[in-house]
Amino acid sequence: MAGRLKGKIALVTAAGQGIGRAIADAFLAEGANVVATDLDTGKLKGLRGAVREKLDVRSTEAVEALAKDIGRNVGPVAVLVNCAGFVHHGCVLDCSEEDWDFSFDLNVKSMHRTIRAFLPAMLKRKRGSIVNIASGASSVRGIPNRYVYGATKAAVIGLTKAVAADFIKRGIRANAICPGTIQSPSLDQRIAALAKSTQQPLAAVRRSFVDWSTAALRCKGGKRRRKAIDLTKSDAKRKSTSRRKLRQSPPLPPRQRWGGDGGGGFRYQRSVLSGCSNWFVTADH
């Protein structure tokens, strides 16, 4: 199906390669007006049809300036995809204060910056979708040597839930996606670096990167759902899909149920799709 995002403006951070690039490509194929941003604009070459902008998500000034510029010259952003992130390899003893601050700044505070900059225009239009790329290595699972990375991605899940709870009744959806291991240039670099430093064969290191991801999938009650995540669904479809998921799923055990706003206005459900644990937030009415 094509054209499901026709006419919508979608801004993607870290769209130069990997997951961000794939999202930008998919959104373009669905007819969105994509604003593809990255720290390295050279990587945005080839994204034909997209507005290509340099954006360092670690700079509040740059994020705010881009939000103003896009609002003025392109239009209101309907979909914000926060994809920029960095994987620090190591345990607590390998993580200096600088490593900690860098990871939290790039992986978490960047989302605080972009959401603060783009949410007001969404609220004016009473609709908008925020998609934050978290990870299975987070509060979903503890993974060896993902100490600060896991902490940042758990924070992304918390941040996303908080935004969803605050704004779902004002037309804003906020969802976090928690991928397992995904082929990307930085993954290849990390595998090569680890193979070199530990003097292990490349294939063995690659397998260890993939194994935790498939184990995460298997541990969810043995249920494997192979559906790919579809970020391109229109607002209306998205809502009904999420509701259908809720209806079809068995009742959640109490510890997996989160309260609404006192009036039970919304519910969360975790579902496992193709190695990813995703948080859907749906309105009950």
E strand segments, the chain: 9-12, 33-38, 51-54, 79-82, 128-133, 172-177, 266-273, 276-283
CB 216 within 8 A of CB 277: yes
Is 117 or 168 the residue whose CB approaches ligand NAD more closely?
117
Name the helix (H) or strand (E) containing 2: none
Please identify which residue in 23, 47, 70, 133 interacts with ligand NAD, judged by CB under 6 A: 133
Nearer to ligand NAD, 12 or 165 (CB): 12
Q: Which of 24, 38, 141, 282 binds ligand NAD (CB under 6 A)?
A: 38
**Shortest Cβ distance from residue 71 to ligand NAD (Å)?**
20
Nearer to ligand NAD, 18 or 128 (CB): 18
Neighbours of 167 (CB within 10 A): 19
User: What is the number of the residue whose Cβ is closest to ligand NAD?
Assistant: 85
Q: CB under 6 A: which stretch of 34-42, 115-123, 161-169, 259-267 binds ligand NAD?
A: 34-42
| Binding segment (CB under 6 A) for ligand NAD, from list 49-57, 163-171, 194-202, 264-272 | 49-57
Among 5, 85, 279, 280, binds ligand NAD (CB under 6 A): 85
Which CB contacts under 8 angstroms, 24+ apart, belong to 135-142?
135/85, 135/178, 135/179, 136/178, 136/179, 136/180, 136/212, 136/213, 136/216, 136/275, 136/276, 136/277, 137/212, 138/178, 140/178, 140/216, 140/277, 141/212, 141/216
147 is catalytic: no
C-alpha–C-alpha distance, residues 111 and 118, integer Å: 10
User: Using CA atoms, how far apart are residues 94 and 21, in angstroms rounded to an integer?
Assistant: 30
Asked whether the beta carbons of 141 and 160 are under 8 A apart, the reply is: no
Can you tell me which residue has the tokens 């507005």?
51
Nearest approach, Cβ of residue 126 and ligand NAD (Å): 29
Binding to ligand NAD by residue 55, rule CB under 6 A? yes
How far apart are CB 278 and ligand NAD at their closest, in Å? 12
Active-site entry in 27, 118, 149, 268: 149
Query: Segment 9-28, which members bind ligand NAD (CB under 6 A)?
Result: 13-14, 16-20
The catalytic site residues sit at: 149
Residues near ligand NAD (CB under 6 A) are 13-14, 16-20, 38-40, 43, 55-58, 83-85, 87, 106, 133, 135, 179, 181-182, 184-187
